[in-house]
Structures are given as C-alpha cells and as structure tokens.
A = this chain, B = another copy of it.
Amino acid sequence: MQRARLRELGISIGTMEPGPNNAITDVDGVLVGHATVIRDAPSMARTGVTVILPRKGEISRDHSLGGFEALNGVGEMTGLLWLEETGLMSAPIALTNTHQVGLVRDILVEHFAPYGGWSYDLPIVSETWDGYLNDIHTFPLERQHVLKAISSAHTGIVEEGNVGGGTGTVCHEFKGGIGTSSRVVQYQGENYIVGALVQANHGSREDLRVNGAPVGKHIGTDAFPPPWSQTVAAGSIVTVLATDAPLSSLQCKRLARRGIIGFARAGGAGHHGSGDLFLAFTTYHHLPAQPQEPMDIRMLPHSHLNPFFQAAAEAVEEAILNSLTSAETMTGYHGRVAHAIPLDQLVEIVNRYSS
C-alpha cells in the first residue's frame, strides 16, 4: 500500500474542516523548506533540517506575535527568552537534530539578521534526537543543507514523513517524521487558518490512538519491532502552530498549550526523555523591527478562542498521524530498522472502532 496522508485513508480527526492543503502553509505567507541528508558513507546519516519561514522570510523585518509552552522541557529551543520577554515573533524557525542546533542557528542569523545598524536576530531553532537511525555524533548536517532548506522553502504542499528534521525520527515506535495539518476557523464572517507542523520523535507503541481507537495496542511490537531492543520511551516532539488570526502573544501561548491536547489524544504521554515543545505564532500583526510609534495590536476576546483552541488540538493530532502514515520504513545506523506503520491494519482497526 502506498504511503498516504491520513485523510487519503478515509480517516479524519475531529470535526473542523482543513485548509486547502491541510498544511501549515495554508497560513498565508508561511513557507516550509526541507533539506534531507540520507547517506551511508562516510558516516551513516539520516538527518536533516526543516525551516518554517513566516512572512516568506521577512519576519525579521516585519514582526508579529507568538508564544510558547513546554509540556516537558527535555530538549532545546533557542530564541525563547526574547519571545517570552517581548511576545514578538521576529525570527525564522528551524527544526533539526539535537547536536546541530547551533549550526542551523548561526546560519539563520547570518541569512536573516538585517545587516547594518544595531540589529540582532534571535532565531528559533529546535531539535529532536535522531541518534537511533542517524550517526549523530558525526555531525552530518552541513552549511549547504541549511542554505538549501532556506532556498527551497515554499508555500503549498508540504512534504511529509522522512524529510528535513524528521528524516531520522521515530514516533510511537514506528517510523515518524514531519507531519502537518490545518483547520479553518470561521469567525465573524472571516475564515482563519490554524496550521500545525510537527517533527515527531516520541511515544510508546501501546499508547498510539487514532480517533480514540487503540491502534498501537493492536499492531504490536512483535510484528513491527522498534529500532531498539530495550524500550526507552524517550524521543521528543516539536510542534509549531501558525495562524493568521488576530491573537495577542498571550493568546498565542494559550494556543500553543492546546497542542498538548491533540498530542495527548494521539497517545502522547510526556515521557521523561521527551522534549515536548509547543510554539505558536500569528502572522496577523505587522510590527516594524524598529518601531517609532505606538502600535495597535488586535486581539480576539479570550472568550471567543474556543474554536481556535479546538483547531489547534485537531491540527496537532492529525499532523502527528500524518507524520506516521507518510513516513516509510527506514534502515539506519547500526542496521536499525524503523518500520512504517502498516496502513491497511491502521484503517481496519479504526473502522472496527468506528462502527
């Protein structure tokens, strides 16, 4: 059976409609680019980098707002001190492997920091640990890869599965990777988008649920063993939520927290070793990098946020599942194999539970 997105299997999460591409890029101006590094020599590389460029990369000059929450802070995300101090979303985002956050971070500074003046730039770079499949200690990601991810960033369809920062990840003990999804929120005559992108590298097999159905319990590790002999229950998930709705920075933080709901519904447990990080930003606002005048920030009534919260939860849940259904079986470091989730069995189990 061909790899597919969850909806192509006839399964949809929640009750809200997705955007045109069911992707974070449904938020106007949000670009996604991947560089995927798969090679067997000189070292076994199964890694990459995914960039998310709000405002087509112009976010460093034309700021907006964002917020963050960690369910479990066993991980790294640069740029958070600034984000939490000012509420400003002012930098590009990248996701990569744990050991090469720095490389990516400095290249983003170089590429995006407005040259001249007293400017600075504090990019948001996060990571998951792909060392089961990737020989992470050889630092295989290179400068050229980061530049390629930037230059190839585009709107429209987002490649999922074994790409970019998700190349070597493992999710619910199946092959994971990058996944995305979106929802349309109808609010006072306008259509807003809430989009999610995840780099999914977390979870136990037995906890995996699809629409409530305990898929992971029924597709056991005997038939599809994980790439490790001892259950480690480590891993991490980085979740990025984007919207074009007029949210304040605190409201972005609140939105980020609802990513946890979707994560938990798909079976996320917050294991100790799992850095479960949730970032949310809006593109609604246009704030100059060096403002000279007071600015008017539009925000929704807090009591009107529930549909946006629901959209965030649904999009994250579906993005995680898309990462699983899109990723293909991969063999990597030390010959370890991460199996793709078998789609026929997944469909069968979900259907059984839906009757």
Which of A's residues lie within 8 Å of B, judged by CB? 15, 70-82, 84-88, 98-107, 109-110, 113, 115, 118, 120, 122, 125, 129, 131, 137, 139, 188, 206, 209, 212-214, 232-234, 246, 248-250, 254, 257-258, 260-261, 263-265, 268-273, 275, 277, 290-306, 309-310, 313, 352-353, 355
| Closest chain B residue, CB of each to CB of A84 | B73
What number of copies of this chain does the assembly contain? 4
In contact, A98 and B115 (Cβ under 8 angstroms): no
Neighbour of A99 across the interface among B82, B109, B209, CB < 8 A: B109
- A298 with B294, Cβ < 8 A, contacts A99-B113, A277-B81 known: yes
**Alpha-carbon gap, A131 to B116, bound state (A):** 10
**Alpha-carbon gap, A295 to B246, bound state (A):** 9
Chain B nearest Cβ from A297, distance in angstroms: 5
Interface of A is mostly: mixed
**Alpha-carbon gap, A147 to B102, bound state (A):** 16
List of B residues within 8 angstroms of A102 by Cβ: 78, 101-107, 109, 125
List of B residues within 8 angstroms of A87 by Cβ: 248, 250
Neighbour of A261 across the interface among B129, B248, B268, CB < 8 A: B268
Most buried by B among A107, A122, A129: A122
- A81 with B257, Cβ < 8 A, contacts A102-B101, A102-B104, A300-B294 known: no
**Alpha-carbon gap, A347 to B120, bound state (A):** 36
**Alpha-carbon gap, A260 to B70, bound state (A):** 12
- A250 with B72, Cβ < 8 A, contacts A102-B101, A188-B293 known: no
**Alpha-carbon gap, A71 to B131, bound state (A):** 32
Chain B nearest Cβ from A21, distance in angstroms: 25
In contact, A296 and B294 (Cβ under 8 angstroms): no
**Alpha-carbon gap, A232 to B249, bound state (A):** 24
- A71 with B250, Cβ < 8 A, contacts A269-B309, A306-B272 known: no
List of B residues within 8 angstroms of A101 by Cβ: 78, 102, 105-106
**Alpha-carbon gap, A298 to B294, bound state (A):** 6
List of B residues within 8 angstroms of A105 by Cβ: 101-102, 105
In contact, A261 and B258 (Cβ under 8 angstroms): no
List of B residues within 8 angstroms of A113 by Cβ: 99, 137
List of B residues within 8 angstroms of A268 by Cβ: 261
List of B residues within 8 angstroms of A214 by Cβ: 212
List of B residues within 8 angstroms of A72 by Cβ: 85, 254, 257
Chain B nearest Cβ from A67, distance in angstroms: 10
- A296 with B293, Cβ < 8 A, contacts A74-B81, A254-B85 known: no
**Alpha-carbon gap, A310 to B272, bound state (A):** 11
In contact, A270 and B309 (Cβ under 8 angstroms): yes
**Alpha-carbon gap, A313 to B80, bound state (A):** 26
In contact, B106 and A85 (Cβ under 8 angstroms): no
**Alpha-carbon gap, A102 to B261, bound state (A):** 32
Q: A73-B86, A291-B301 are in contact. List 18 more A-B contacts (CB 8 A).
A: A71-B257, A71-B260, A72-B257, A74-B85, A76-B78, A78-B78, A78-B101, A78-B102, A98-B122, A102-B102, A212-B212, A212-B214, A213-B353, A248-B248, A269-B310, A271-B306, A272-B305, A272-B309
